[in-house]
């Protein structure tokens, strides 16, 4: 597992690095949050990012949250103090673990594991949501195509679906593709 630590303070980064090495992780890079560091992190292709912010200013926190949005990786953020707005912003940006006043090397491994598990769970939920949205959109498209066939050819709903299905099979295409083509043709001809 490749881990990147984003840290401005060498001492604090050392605590994180020691905790990771004691937990058996070897591929660890420390990146200071300066000059194009987001692009550097992206090139490193980390599996997990640990951000140690100490007492971040609002600008620093916003920069780190931009990193979180850009990377789409599990991210654990360590801060010394926080407030509800900072926590909310971190959650909205996709930070997987947000630890306040908890930078101790023995806590690094459990926090890292939590960040990975939460990120994976969230990614699964997003994938399921996207698949459900796609299925719903496809269903609406197929229903519209069936309505065009029902109106234009006087078919029943099952017969309209059977025609879409057989056309798709005969053409080696998906039903959704045939439905979209039918809708496009109907729209061009001034139909439904």
- Backbone phi, psi, residue 174, to 5°: -80, 150
Residue where a domain terminates, one of 103, 123, 139? 103
| Higher pLDDT pick, 192 / 69 | 69
Within this chain, do residues 93 and 164 fall inside the same structural domain, yes or no? Answer: no
Structure confidence at residue 7 (pLDDT): 84
Whether the predicted pLDDT of 192 surpasses 60:
no
* Tokens 């065009």 found at: 148
Within this chain, do residues 138 and 59 fall inside the same structural domain, yes or no? Answer: no
Whether the predicted pLDDT of 96 surpasses 60:
yes
Structure confidence at residue 133 (pLDDT): 95
Structure confidence at residue 118 (pLDDT): 83
Packing angle of the helix pair 157-171, 105-153 (nearest 10 deg): 110
61 lies in some domain: yes
Structure confidence at residue 41 (pLDDT): 85
Contact partners, residue 155, CB within 8 Å, separation at least 6:
149, 163
From CA 71, how far away is CA 123, in angstroms rounded?
13
Within this chain, do residues 17 and 91 fall inside the same structural domain, yes or no? Answer: yes
Within this chain, do residues 26 and 90 fall inside the same structural domain, yes or no? Answer: yes
Structure confidence at residue 56 (pLDDT): 64
Contact partners, residue 183, CB within 8 Å, separation at least 6:
141, 144, 145, 148
Structure confidence at residue 16 (pLDDT): 86
Within this chain, do residues 31 and 93 fall inside the same structural domain, yes or no? Answer: yes
Structure confidence at residue 58 (pLDDT): 65
Structure confidence at residue 36 (pLDDT): 78
For residue 17, give its domain range.
3-103
111 lies in some domain: no
Torsion of CA 157, 159, 162, 164, to 10 degrees: -70
From CA 29, how far away is CA 180, in angstroms rounded?
49
Whether the predicted pLDDT of 156 surpasses 90:
yes
Within this chain, do residues 61 and 145 fall inside the same structural domain, yes or no? Answer: no
Summarised one tens digit per residue, pLDDT across range 121-132 is 888 888 899 999
From CA 118, how far away is CA 137, in angstroms rounded?
28
Structure confidence at residue 66 (pLDDT): 74
59 lies in some domain: yes
Whether the predicted pLDDT of 185 surpasses 90:
yes
Summarised one tens digit per residue, pLDDT across range 21-75 is 888 899 998 888 777 777 888 888 899 988 887 766 666 667 767 777 777 788 8
Within this chain, do residues 26 and 77 fall inside the same structural domain, yes or no? Answer: yes
């Amino acid at each position: 597992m490749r881990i990147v630590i984003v840290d401005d303070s060498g001492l604090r980064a050392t605590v994180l690095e020691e905790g990771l090495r004691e937990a058996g992780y070897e591929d660890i890079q420390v990146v200071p949050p300066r000059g194009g560091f987001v692009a550097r992190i992206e090139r490193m292709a980390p599996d997990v990012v640990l951000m140690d912010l100490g007492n971040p200013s609002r600008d620093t926190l916003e920069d780190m949250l931009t990193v979180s949005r850009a990377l789409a990786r599990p991210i654990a953020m360590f801060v010394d103090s926080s407030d509800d707005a900072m926590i909310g912003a971190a959650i909205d940006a996709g930070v997987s673990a947000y630890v306040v006043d908890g930078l101790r090397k023995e806590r690094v491994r459990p926090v890292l594991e939590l960040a990975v598990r939460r990120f994976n769970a969230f990614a699964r939920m997003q994938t399921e949501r996207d698949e459900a949205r796609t299925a719903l959109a496809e269903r609406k498209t197929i229903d519209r195509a069936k309505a065009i066939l029902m109106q234009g050819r006087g078919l029943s709903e099952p017969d309209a679906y059977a025609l879409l299905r057989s056309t798709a099979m005969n053409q080696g295409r998906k039903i959704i593709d045939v439905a979209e083509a039918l809708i496009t043709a109907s729209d061009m001809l001034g139909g439904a």
